[in-house]
Amino acid sequence: MRRARFIRLALVAALASAMTLPLLYEPAAVAQTLPKAKRIKPGLATGQPPPAPGPAERIEADVSTRTIAITSGYSGAEILVFGTIENSRQPSAESGFYDVVVVVEGAPEPLMVRKKGRVAGLWVNSKTFNFNAVPSYYAVASTRPLEEFADVAALEENGIGLDAVRMAASAGSAVRVSSEDLIAYKDAVSRLKQAARLFQRDDYGVIFTGRSLFRATIALPATVPVGPLTARVYLFKDGKLLSRFQSRVVLEREGIERWLYAFALDRPFLYGIVTVLLALTTGVVASAVFRRRGA
């Protein structure tokens, strides 16, 4: 009798944990070892008194990792974008003489937005809107909030900032909706992507570490779709765009993950059969193991 009561308790506990387990999910801390930033030529970073107005400033930058491997332990990555301003006339790292913006953007891909509506008392997807091209990922980091140093036209023109992310509506969808609805759909994309950390902004994410050296770390969550990313760096002075730079990062599945994914897509039926065999083996082996232990 007491045994039975214990089991009932254990059961309730098991059920409660089954219901709450998904809530315990925590996005694991990003732990990706990064190669140290390449050393920039010493002459550029130190010493030198600010030169008289002369040669124009130019920006040069690079990313810490050109290829990010998605393996079975992958839980997102961090990339470091770093660079230097040639001919910097900035007196010190803290002077706020220049403004630097770093944009990391994923490949544009088609996207469908669905809107729920009430049908017979139930919330079901009732409307859809198609975009032909929305970047899979968009992160912007700057030395201070964009609005403080650049005008909207310049940001819009260069696709800088979450308000300037290029979203191309499909022709079929665009003619069906009013301009307010179009804005609502774009806002929804931005809001949902931000909630998923696929769109992000960091107003003070770019830091000067010297008169001309700067750096920014950009977090890539595990959900960023596999593919190429572009990293763009802009140099502003008094709201004027002085220079820009572009580089590429590639996200790739590697090892067993790559193999499994290719297997699932290239030989889907064989993949299914292998899964079934795995399941059969697991079931049979488990029952054999436990029967021996129980006997």
> Considering the rule CB under 8 A, would residue 253 count as an interface residue with other proteins?
yes
At closest approach, how far in Å is the CB of 202 from other proteins? 22
DSSP secondary structure of 206-275: EEE-SSSEEEEEEEE-TTSPSEEEEEEEEEEETTEEEEEEEEEEEEEE-HHHHHHHHHHHHSHHHHHHHH
Q: Which stretch binds other proteins (CB under 8 A): 32-40, 174-182, 236-244, 257-265?
A: 257-265
**In the bound complex, what is the minimum distance in angstroms from residue 232's beta carbon to other proteins?**
24
Nearest to 96 by CA among 200, 201, 214: 214
- How far apart, in Å, are the Cα atoms of 109 and each of 124, 133, 135, 201, 231? 25, 5, 6, 20, 17
Q: Count residues near other proteins (CB under 8 A).
A: 74
| C-beta closer to other proteins: residue 61 or 198 | 198
- The candidate with the shortest Cα–Cα distance to 81, out of 101, 59, 63, is 63
Q: Segment 264-293, which members bind other proteins (CB under 8 A)?
A: 264-265, 268-269, 271-276, 278-280, 282-284, 286-287, 290
**Residue 167 and residue 134: Cα distance in Å, rounded?**
5
As measured in angstroms, the least distance from the Cβ of 41 to other proteins is 39
For residue 127, give the amino acid letter: K
Q: Which is nearer to other proteins, 22 or 49 (CB)?
A: 22
Contacts with other proteins in 196-225 (CB under 8 A)? 222-223, 225
Residue 122 as a binder of other proteins (CB under 8 A): the answer is yes
Closer by beta carbon to other proteins, 185 or else 234: 185
The distance of closest approach from Cβ of residue 174 to other proteins in the complex, given in angstroms and rounded to an integer, is: 15
